[in-house]
């Protein structure tokens, strides 16, 4: 079954993760992205390597969602 990356499908599919507290979701996402990318899990290294993305301020979540859909092999609509 193909993954659909439209907003309604993503929201529906993610409801099973509602048990993760809102404050912890960003930490879980960062960990998962680092694992998928094969990157260091050291916080200092991650911060140093992320410094080049400061130009994305305010848009990190949108970019992360797009990248995650691409990693998952979904069609971005």
13-21 average pLDDT score:
82
The Cα 77–Cα 6 span in angstroms is 5
Write down the pTM of the prediction: 0.62
Q: What angle do helix axes 22-37 and 60-71 make, rounded to 10 degrees?
A: 50
pLDDT in tens, 24-74: 888 888 888 888 888 888 988 888 888 878 788 888 778 787 777 778 777
Residue range of the domain that includes 29: 24-77
Q: Confirm whether 55 is domain-assigned.
A: yes
CA atoms within 13 A on the CB side of 71: 13
Q: Confirm whether 8 is domain-assigned.
A: no
Q: Confirm whether 40 is domain-assigned.
A: yes
Q: Is the pLDDT at 1 greater than 60, yes or no?
A: no
Higher pLDDT, 77 or 32: 32
The Cα 21–Cα 29 span in angstroms is 12
Q: Confirm whether 15 is domain-assigned.
A: no
Contact (Cβ atoms closer than 8 angstroms) between residue 77 and residue 4: yes
Q: Confirm whether 16 is domain-assigned.
A: no
Q: Confirm whether 58 is domain-assigned.
A: yes
Q: Alpha carbon 53 to chain centroid distance?
A: 14
Q: Confirm whether 28 is domain-assigned.
A: yes
Number of domains comprising the chain: 1
């Amino acid at each position: 079954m193909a993954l659909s990356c439209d907003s309604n499908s993503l929201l529906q599919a993610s409801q099973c993760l509602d048990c993760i507290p809102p404050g912890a979701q960003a930490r879980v996402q960062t960990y998962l992205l680092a694992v998928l990318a094969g990157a260091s899990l050291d916080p200092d290294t991650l911060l140093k390597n992320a410094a080049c993305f400061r130009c994305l301020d305010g848009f990190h979540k949108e970019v992360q969602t797009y990248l995650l859909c691409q990693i998952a092999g979904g069609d971005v609509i």
